Structure 1
Amino acid sequence: MLRRLALTAVASVAALSAAPSAAGATGPLPLPLPLLQSPDRLTVDVSDTGNPRADGTYELRCGPAGGTHPQAERACARLEQLTAEGRDPFAPAPAPADQMCTQMYGGPATARVFGTWGGRQVDVTFDRTNGCGVSRWNDMEPVLPSARS
């Protein structure tokens, strides 16, 4: 499938480059924008939520939504919402010295999200070891599964 897509893209670019332009300019035409942009693709690896159906590794693609993530459309919509609000959904957790967190333990759940979002590489972890981690996790639902204790 990927090979066929690549061959189709190369053939399309070759055909467009060979076609005369309306303005009479010579040289190849620029590549269409979708070929230049990398898709948003993330791997979400979740463990110890207490829900065996939530634990596992999921692929999430956005634009259009797809992959093996059980709620791909809702997860992509949440990421787009956070981005539109000017928030970085994959910002690293603040250092403990930079914030005060309640000592509320939300359970042993952990998650790692890595891949590409908005044209940049991301690799971030989430946990529920204190109130800040619980809040951060809940803010990323449904990208991360519900792990409420």
Structure 2
Amino acid sequence: MSRRFSLTATAAFAASLAAVAAFAPTAAAGPGPLDLTRTTPAPLFQERAQDRLTVTVAHTDSTHADGTYELKCGPTGGTHPEARSACARLDELAGEGKNPFTPVPEGQMCTMQMGGPATARVTGTWQGRSIDATFSHKNGCEISRWQNLVPVLPAARG
């Protein structure tokens, strides 16, 4: 019985030494500090960089929607009147891999409809990218692009 215990203990000790050796610096590395990059576990949660946008809206049908607002996501904050739902919409678009700030491609066929004089400009940082985008209701493509960002931009009234 003691021989079996001795063999089991020796095998366990050898296995633990092998595990330690896998993380220890090699002899070729020479004396110096222990390389902790191999032994440090990855963080359980990656801290998300905060999205910070300035939204300026003008010439809407509602004087309550016109103005300049700060929108912060991750955590939610700022002066945007619908910050929580605006951040949720941006998270939804990011999850779909879509960039709502991309302009309408050059040469894109768009319906020739005028949706009103409303304009908006969004600047700041979203998903680690610098943003400087303009929006309008000057044609069908631009109207669709604006509607895709509601409630970051105010819903069209009409």
Contact 2:100 2:145 in 1 (8 A): no
> CA offsets, 1:102-125, max 9 Å, x none?
111100000000000111111000
Give the aligned partner of residue 123 of structure 2. 114
Q: Which residue of structure 2 aligns with residue 101 of structure 1? A: 110
Larger radius of gyration: 2
Structure 1 residue 140: deviation in Å? 0.5
Q: Which runs of 5+ in 2 are unaligned?
A: 1-32
**Over aligned residues, Cα RMSD in angstroms?**
2.2
Aligned to 1:47: 58
| Distance in 2 of aligned mates of 1:104 and 1:26 | 64
Moved over 4 A (4+): 24-27
Q: TM-score, normalised by structure 2?
A: 0.69
1:112 counterpart letter in structure 2: R
CA offsets 1:22-42 (integer angstroms, 9 cap, x no match): xx9599x9xx964xx641100
1:79 to 90, 105, 128: 90
Does 2:134 correspond to 1:125? yes
Q: Is the 8 A contact 1:44 1:60 kept in 2?
A: yes
Could you tell me the percent identity over the aligned residues? 57
Amino acid in the other structure paired with 1:52: T
Secondary structure, aligned partner of 2:86: helix
Using the size of structure 1 for normalisation, the TM-score is 0.73
* Structure 1 unmatched ranges of 5 or more: 1-23
Counterpart contact for 1:114–1:121, Cα < 8 Å: yes
Q: Number of paired residues? A: 120
